[in-house]
Structure 1
Amino acid sequence: MSATHPDRPEEQPGRIMSGEMAEQPAVLRRILDEGAPRIREIAEQVAARNPRFVLLTARGTSDNAALYAKYLLEIRLGKPCGLTSMSTTTAYGARPDLTDVLVITVSQSGGSPDLVASAEAARAAGAITVAVTNNSDSPLAKVSEFHIDVLAGPEKALPATKTYTAELLALYLFVEGLRGGDGAAAKVLPELARQTLGRGAEVKALAGRYRFAERMVLTSRGYGYPTAKEAALKLMETSYIPALSYSGADLLHGPLAMVDNISPVIAIVTDGKGGEALQPVLDRLKDRGADLVVIGGREQVDAASAGFALPTADVPEELQPILEILPLQMLAYEVTIARGQDPDAPRALAKVTRTH
């Protein structure tokens, strides 16, 4: 990392990531104002073809967005839904019958060769293909029957932030469109996101707990589980701290044994059925004396070692992940800065990962 100079703030570590995090309220507003009509139009065309089930294809941060869509599709739409293994077609040459199957491929860049090849193969096999990207001119958009632009604008920092929340909102609006909804519940998100991002001092105080952490565990259930996975990814790719993410149910099936009174644990407690399902896990973590930080409602935060209370009292459970990830993005940023590293440029990573 090159030296920085007080009179040249453009070289400050993390400047790009910080700026892109701050753009998220405007990006969410843009999707609601400009993107929603086109998303609804695509959803209506897909719904008219009545797909028998859904497959989701993605990698990295977009894979966590796809997992969120899986919860939406199964809970809100009642459609069987799975996450694909691209190597079955790209490496092994499998050619499944995908007639009347909806295949949604999520990719920030739309440029990874395996995603493009997988979508192309799915369309040739009879699938209804929808690409969700931040690049309408991408190869993935061109090979797919339908394209949803998440309208996040150029993202230059290697850790994806604004494209992730944009993908979540676009996928929510798409699923709502499939079921005939208008997505009106999402209109509160830009302002609530602005309020949440304005509380950086609280997050910076939390970050002090993790500056010297050797390992972290993140857990949640239901709609919050993709948030746990995405937060773990952000922490690993920026600060290089090994961060393990588990569904609360899976945490009890063995990994709980590694948690002790010096183990940092972050629990994302969604206000709703997912949070209720996580409560026995929180009780077990407290019994083990874990250093428990909660991202969630005020009551759950007050009962933990520390936390960040989210403004989600009147937000439907299925929309809360768009707010949950914001303090965790800021946490990854602050921990990385505290460890003397630059979150804009994690080592060994490229913005477009070209897997095959």
Structure 2
Amino acid sequence: MHAEACEAGAAVSRFLAQNRKALDLLGESLRKDPPALVITCARGSSDHAATYAKYLVETLLGVPTVSAAFSTVSLYDAPVASSPGRVLCLAISQSGRSPDMLATVERQQASGALVVALVNDEDSPLAAMADVVLPLCAGPEKSVAATKSYITSLAGIAAIVAAWRDDADFASDLADLPARLNEAFALDWSALGEGLRDATNLFVIGRGYGLAVAQEAALKFKETSALHAEAFSSAEVRHGPMAVVREGFPVIAFAGPDSAGDDVRALCTEFATRGARVWLASQADGAEPGIGHLPVLSLRAELAPLATISSFYRMANALSLARGNDPDSPPYLAKVTRTR
């Protein structure tokens, strides 16, 4: 897990280089005939990437983006109605082999959707059926816990949006991302790992672009450390779950350099006043009492979560080992999950 997470910068660099022409053609096509709807198809870590896609597409392009519920096709065999406007089906997968995802993508394609696949296995059934294939180029991932393929999926989504918008500034920042990911992986989050060594439950908080990596972090805590973690937006947690947060309860928060980050920072202050054990990853140097500061890089809000999760992965691997677990081979899990 450590070695693969460390490779994320190189993986993103390969993705951008190999898919440059395909991204340009896709962007031109999407501008010429803009989709009225984006439907994401993904599970697990890839579905967290789909959360990122929702926020990025809806904020930067204004196109509604929804997640397909695979069981409606794989279990209920429900039809998919043709849309009066163009539909972009964005399928995100490391393996490209889960039967329920393939059935859903096939049904979307039959209804007239343009299928674009972000997939790490270029020989997979998903790659074979897609109209446009954007290989993640992450390379073999032996650890059950996806790391570099997840970060490259986020970068792929950002690259699609930059190409769709024909946004030169965004594309330039993406080109700089591999080096920034290497910097982020080197940041020291060991204080968080030490603080969670004996934890049993915790919340992971994000909002906006950062919600996707909060979801991913919560999954990694469960997968690699057998540590029960729940992810919430800083807005949604206020609708009931925050009653759990009392003295000593651990909270990890990811705050970007935008208004969503401001809300996360405000929530951390509130939780700290209750005596919760709060750690905040934020570009603002956290000097507030009761809040542990986790260093992050200074990046535009849309790309900041990619660097944050890179720093997190290094800590999560070390925490897993400190708790006596094997982060590469968690019990009861397999690298390819074949749900139906």
TM bucket, shorter chain: over 0.9
Matched residue, 1:347: 331
Secondary structure of residue in 1 paired with 2:324: coil
Which segment is superposed worse, 274-283 or 69-78? Answer: 274-283
Aligned identity (percent) is 35
Q: Would you say 1:83 and 2:71 are equivalent positions?
A: no
- For 1:159 and 1:126, the matched residues in 2 are separated by 34
Q: Runs of 4 or more off by more than 3 Å in structure 1?
A: 300-304
Decide whether the 8 Å contact of 1:216 with 1:263 is kept in 2: yes
Match of 2:254 in 1: 268
Structure 2 residue 176 is matched with structure 1 residue 188 = yes
**Alpha carbons 2:297, 2:304 under 8 Å: kept:** no
Q: Secondary structure at the match of 1:104?
A: strand
What is aligned with 2:207?
A: 221
**Counterpart of 2:115 in 1: which secondary structure?**
strand
Kindly report which structure 2 residues correspond to 1:85-164, keeping only aligned pairs within 5 A, or say none.
85-99=69-83, 100-164=86-150
Relative distance call for 1:271 and 1:304 in structure 2 (3 A) is: farther
Unpaired runs of 5+ in structure 2?
none
What SS does the corresponding residue of 1:151 show, helix, strand or coil? coil
- For the residues of structure 2 that align with 1:303 and 1:331, how far apart are their CA atoms? 23
Instruction: Quote how far apart the aligned CAs of 1:302 are.
Output: 5.8
Amino acid at match of 2:114: I
Deviation at 1:98, TM superposition (A): 3.4
Q: Is the 8 A contact 1:204 1:331 kept in 2?
A: yes
Match of 2:244 among 238, 254, 258: 258
* Paired amino acid for 2:157: L
Change in 2 beyond 3 A, CA 1:36/1:261: farther
2:246 aligned partner, one-letter code: D
Q: Aligned pair in 2 of structure 1 residues 46, 141: CA closer, same or farther (>3 Å)?
A: farther
Say whether 1:245 aligns with 2:231: yes
Report what 1:234 is aligned to: 220
Q: Deviations over 1:71-127 (max 9, x none)?
A: 011001110111111111221112122332111111111011111111111111111
What residue number does 2:280 align with?
294
What secondary structure does 1:243 align onto? strand
Report the 3-state secondary structure (helix = DSSP H, G, I; strand = E; otherwise coil) of the residue aligned with 1:59: coil
Distance in 2 of aligned mates of 1:37 and 1:242 = 43
1:203 aligns with 2:208: no
CA contact (8 A) 1:269 1:300 kept: no
Q: Read off the aligned partner of 2:30 and give its amino acid letter.
A: V
State the 1:59 CA deviation: 0.2
How far the C-alpha of 1:283 sits from its partner, in A, is 2.6
Alpha-carbon distance between aligned partners in 2 of 1:140 and 1:283, rounded to the nearest angstrom:
45
8 Å CA contact 1:36–1:173 kept in 2: the answer is no
Identify the residue that residue 7 of structure 2 maps to in structure 1: 23
AA in 1 matched with 2:57 = L
Match of 1:41 among 25, 47, 71: 25
Task: State the TM-score, normalized to the length of structure 1.
Answer: 0.91
Q: Which moved more, 1:117-126 or 1:272-281?
A: 272-281
Unaligned runs of 5+ in 1: 1-16
Deviation at 1:303, TM superposition (A): 5.8
Give the partner amino acid of 1:98.
S
Indicate the SS of the match to 1:208: helix
Match for 2:296: what amino acid? L
Do the aligned partners of 2:272 and 2:291 also contact (CA within 8 Å) in 1? no
1:59 pairs with one of 39, 43, 57: 43
